[in-house]
């Protein structure tokens, strides 16, 4: 039995449930694209698919509307793929487990993909309904929208005859929006030299956050785990000497980060002081976000027994001594840190995966931040948005004093 059976409009929810069963993360739309092509073929509709898996399905006008201007309907096939830490869904091969929760359709442990799966379902339902009166319809299904509108960019628009386009990717039904939103992706490259470090390694997480869409949920004052990890590191820097080995947070460019992980090395003499400060920060965050993010938590543990290089193309794992306070070393290499998805590639931020146990040296960079070209960057006295003093010892974090990576998705220090 279908889980969404009986919901109205029936055809819309039937097609929505169908496409939810098909893996369709950004860049993995081949199967759902083929589903749309098969749909058109079964109904004798003209259809076209390009190398980017964009699909255009055309339905000629109904009787009496032959001379009416054609209309283009457009939505995107891909979805944002995020899941809870304990969820076993493999987005590359598994569909979404949908369920009805009162008046809402939800997903079990994952994002639902309603953006923009409901648009795909609506267009298929319209194309499948011969009782509707309509002009010539061109339904455009684009790909990789969530990661940069790449499908729309690759689409050969010369194939389209219509001059009126309705994009079905808004927030509320019955509301027509005439506007344009823009986005920017920023890569920050920091040359880093790995060094030998002695001490106790601690994995620290800021997680339990609601997260959400960086556009439609940004006004809800929810916490950003990357920003809070930056604050946490600065507050720790006030009381303990530590070396930063890893920093990972966020999964998608357009999702508010829900979990961020850091790996620190401290001397065995300062472990009590570190743990006491982390407990204090946990209490501070819980008070600040008691309403907007009541499940927020700062948790920590002494590092596990695996290591890997977060800056190589391939992950390398090997065993390390079980001793929590062991000397660890990795070879010198250059690496890069990137906001959003790539940060999580250095370790599973949701599950707290381990990475190489090493230390960042201060990169030899100048002219970044307040300093201007050719000048030494000056330290920021305050971090915007919070009354948090930033010390000049930020060099131990591997970032020149005064360099702040701002924004919803990146590490913010």
Residues acting as catalytic residues: 78, 145
Place of tokens 């920021």: 380
DSSP H or E run through 143: none
- State whether residue 342 is helix, strand or coil: helix
Nearest by Cα to 285 from 331, 360, 228: 228
Report CA-CA distances (Å) from 356 to 205, 246, 271, 315.
Answer: 17, 7, 20, 10
Nearest by Cα to 192 from 240, 231, 243: 243
Our CA dihedral for 9, 15, 16, 17, rounded to 10 degrees, sits at 110
Q: What's 38-98 look like in SS3?
A: HHHHHCCCEEEECCCCCEEEEECCCCCCCCCCCEEEEEECCECCCECCCCCCCCCCCCCCE
C-alpha 138 chain-centroid distance? 31
> What is the rounded CA–CA span in Å between residue 355 and residue 247?
9
> What is the rounded CA–CA span in Å between residue 189 and residue 134?
52
Task: Supply 295's token pair.
Answer: 């499940």
Q: How are beta strands 187-188 and 337-338 bridged, if at all?
A: antiparallel
Q: Within 13 Å and on the Cβ side, how many CA atoms surround 167?
A: 13
Q: Got the DSSP string for 361-391?
A: PPP---S-GGG-TTSPPPPPSEETTEEEE--
Task: Supply 239's token pair.
Answer: 């009381």
- State whether residue 111 is helix, strand or coil: coil
- State whether residue 149 is helix, strand or coil: coil
> What is the rounded CA–CA span in Å between residue 294 and residue 288?
9
> What is the rounded CA–CA span in Å between residue 16 and residue 119?
9
């Amino acid at each position: 039995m279908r889980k969404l059976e009986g919901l109205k409009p029936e055809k819309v929810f039937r097609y929505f449930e169908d496409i939810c069963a098909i893996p369709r993360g950004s860049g993995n739309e081949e199967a759902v694209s083929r589903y749309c092509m098969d749909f058109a073929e079964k109904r004798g509709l003209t259809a076209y698919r390009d190398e980017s898996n964009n699909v255009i399905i055309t339905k000629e006008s109904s009787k009496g509307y032959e001379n009416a201007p054609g209309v283009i309907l457009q939505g995107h096939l891909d979805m944002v793929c995020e899941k809870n830490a304990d969820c076993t869904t493999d987005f590359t091969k598994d569909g979404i487990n949908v369920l009805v929760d009162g008046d809402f359709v939800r997903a079990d442990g994952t994002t639902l993909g309603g953006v923009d799966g409901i648009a795909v379902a609506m267009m298929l339902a319209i194309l499948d309904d011969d009782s509707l009166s309509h002009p010539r319809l061109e339904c455009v299904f684009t790909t990789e929208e969530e990661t940069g509108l790449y499908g729309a960019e690759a689409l050969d628009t010369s194939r389209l005859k219509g001059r009126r386009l309705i994009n079905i990717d808004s927030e509320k039904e019955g509301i027509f929006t005439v506007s344009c939103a823009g986005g920017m992706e920023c890569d920050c490259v920091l040359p880093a030299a790995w060094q030998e470090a002695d001490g106790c390694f601690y994995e620290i997480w800021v997680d339990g956050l609601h997260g959400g869409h960086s556009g439609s949920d940004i006004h809800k004052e929810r916490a950003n785990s990357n920003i809070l990890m930056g604050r946490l590191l600065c507050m720790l820097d006030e009381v303990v000497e530590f070396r930063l080995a890893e920093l990972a947070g966020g999964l998608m460019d357009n999702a508010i980060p829900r979990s961020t992980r850091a790996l620190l090395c401290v001397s065995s003499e300062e472990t009590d002081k570190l743990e006491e400060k982390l407990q204090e920060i946990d209490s501070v965050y819980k008070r600040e976000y008691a309403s907007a993010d009541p499940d927020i938590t700062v948790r920590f543990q002494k590092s596990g027994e695996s290591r890997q290089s977060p800056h190589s193309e391939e992950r390398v794992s090997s065993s390390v001594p079980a001793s929590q306070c062991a000397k660890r070393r990795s070879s010198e290499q250059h690496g890069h840190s990137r906001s959003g998805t790539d940060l999580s590639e250095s370790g599973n931020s949701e599950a707290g995966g381990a990475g190489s146990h090493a230390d960042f040296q201060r990169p030899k960079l100048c002219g970044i931040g307040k300093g201007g070209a050719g000048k030494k960057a000056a330290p920021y006295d305050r971090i915007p948005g919070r009354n948090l003093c930033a010390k000049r010892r930020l060099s131990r974090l591997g970032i020149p004093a005064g360099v702040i990576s701002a924004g919803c998705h990146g590490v913010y220090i």
